[in-house]
Chains A and B, each alone.
Chain A
Amino acid sequence: MKALRWGSAALLLCCCCSALFIASASEYNAGADAETAEAKAVSDEFTSSPETIATADGGASGDPGTGSQPSAAPGTDPWGYELAGAIACAIYLLNYIVGTWRNRQIAKAWVRHCHAVFAEQFAQAGPGVESAKEGAFPLHADAADCYTYYATGRRGCESLSATLQLAPRHNLVQTLVDMGFPGQKDALTIEVAMKPDNMEPLVMAVLRKEDMTRAAGDLRLLEFGSLQPIKLPQPLVCVAEHADAASRLLTAAAVAALGECVDLVRLIHITDQNDVPVLGRDAMPRKVLRFILELPPSPAANMAQIAPLMRLPTAFVDALSAFKLTSGARAKSEKKRLDAIKTRVTEQHKENLRRMQELKYKKLQEEREAYGKMTDAQKRKFDEKAEKAAKKSAAKAGPRVKKV
């Protein structure tokens, strides 16, 4: 597969180079022909009539107003750019068709291995689009590299949506860039919008150890939770608000499933503090389960590897519905959330104040600079105006005297 990829890349590069070569060669020929025509015109100048000279001049130099327009000299090949452009467009189109087909194969493989798991758990499962037809392909192609899936009608949750964000194989430019600097990998994001009453206040995450620092900042994990001593396959770690919840969710079967696909798990995030839009939901649900997974290498052939992880979202929904906090723990969680809100409001207020002060200082500096550049007359006028404005504001601020 890798050899095929490199082969196709080499072929594309060869085509691009040949197109450029053709373009430059024809330009060179055109230039040479133009020079020949000019030389001929100069030699004919001594032998021909004035009419002939005028014709030869027009043919060799072309129209001066046309800039890089093709010259009309006979025998030239002025179609170099056109040939190169047409070849580049044709290669791009060819790659688009092949890349789209390859991404479609990956989507089909995902449907083959994972659709049945969700179809047996949800009353409706199909393409993630508003107007889905009966019996349509279960994935909606949002773009050539993005497929969406939506399932609803299950106890404990409102909906489940899956987004297959594949590598941009259809985009020749991006494909060539990715060969030098590996970029976006094939990824699958599963989001479950929980029913508000079916989940206790909880923040929990299973992630790679190296992602811990970044995720702690982005997802505010350590604001609510702490690292839990649960034995997970390396390099995964668990951060949870309640140790009890973590042990209830990460059962032996769940840990075994994670162990089978440990390389593919990027993040499992369970939160009641969600602030990211969820596919399929107009209003932003606060209680959300989010699974971010990588697809295996050569996904179309190895999609079966990811199948064990597809049972985790629904298992977690059931476990979360059954999990109940004690009144003391719930009060503690709610206090934490209130404190977090207070801290955030205070930080926001401080930030706003700082920004205001910066703006004021900037304005003052600008005014001072402008005042420094003024002439004496302008300065006097400015001072008078400022004094008037100060008096007016003082009069407004002072006590009102009732006129009798």
Chain B
Amino acid sequence: MEQHSGQAKMPEACVPFQQPPVDPLDSSADFYGFASLLLGSAASYLGMRVCAWPALLCCMVSLSNIKRSKANYQLALGSVAFCLISLVTTYSGFRQKMSRARKGEL
């Protein structure tokens, strides 16, 4: 392997790094994000606290798998917010109050 390192470098031929365009249709499916959404929905609308924690775990897995170059931060933030809201609403007594209000106790 003959190499002439002294002549090889050419600073004038430097090409700056360019981020290749990301095809939104090409991005691989985020199953954990989807699972987090489903479990979060079950936790918040059906009051199933058994779903709230797996939703949080799935959200963590989804976040840890994100690639910075292809990250959609709005989507990730939305997923985290939804997951936390579902966890909070499951425990805040919101559902009890609602059911009592429906019965006319409050």
Contact = CB atoms under 8 A, between A and B. Distances in A.
Interface string A224-261: 00000000000000000000000000010110010000
B66 interface: yes
Contacts of A172: 61
Interface string B26-57: 00000010000000000000111110111011
Interface string B1-37: 1110101111111111111110000000000100000
B66 A143 contact: yes
Contacts of B18: 130, 280-282
A173 B61 contact: yes
A92 B50 CA distance: 18
Interface string A154-196: 1100110000000010111100000000000000000000000
A121 B100 CA distance: 74
Given A68-B50, A93-B60, A277-B20, A159 B15 contact: yes
Contacts of B64: 96, 144, 170-171
A346 B50 CA distance: 57
Contacts of B48: 67-68
B11 A123 contact: yes
B72 interface: no
Contacts of A65: 95-96, 98-100, 102-103
Determine the interface band of chain A, counting residues with CB < 8 A from chain B: 35 or more
Given A124-B14, A130-B18, A279-B20, A89 B60 contact: yes
Contacts, number: 148
Nearest to A252: B1
A128 B32 CA distance: 27
Nearest to B9: A123
A69 B47 contact: yes
Contact of A315 (B2, B14, B68, B99): B2
Interface in A123-146: 123-124, 128-130, 132, 141-144, 146
Given A132-B17, A153-B9, A315-B3, A69 B96 contact: yes
B74 to A, nearest CB: 18
Contact of B9 (A68, A122, A168, A315): A122
Given A69-B95, A123-B14, A311-B1, A281 B20 contact: yes
A251 B68 CA distance: 40
A333 interface: no
A204 B2 CA distance: 21
A30 B52 CA distance: 19
Nearest to B48: A68
Contact of A66 (B32, B68, B95): B95
B8 A154 contact: yes
Nearest to B14: A153
A84 B49 contact: no
Contact of A89 (B5, B9, B13, B56): B56
Nearest to B69: A142
B76 to A, nearest CB: 13
Contacts of B32: 173
Contacts of B61: 92, 171-173
A315 B1 contact: yes
Interface in B76-106: 95-96, 98-100, 102-103
Contacts of B17: 128-130, 132, 150, 152, 159, 280
Contacts of A66: 47, 95-96, 99
Nearest to A143: B67
15 contacts: A63-B100, A85-B54, A88-B53, A92-B60, A121-B9, A123-B11, A124-B11, A142-B68, A142-B69, A153-B12, A153-B14, A170-B64, A251-B1, A278-B20, A279-B20
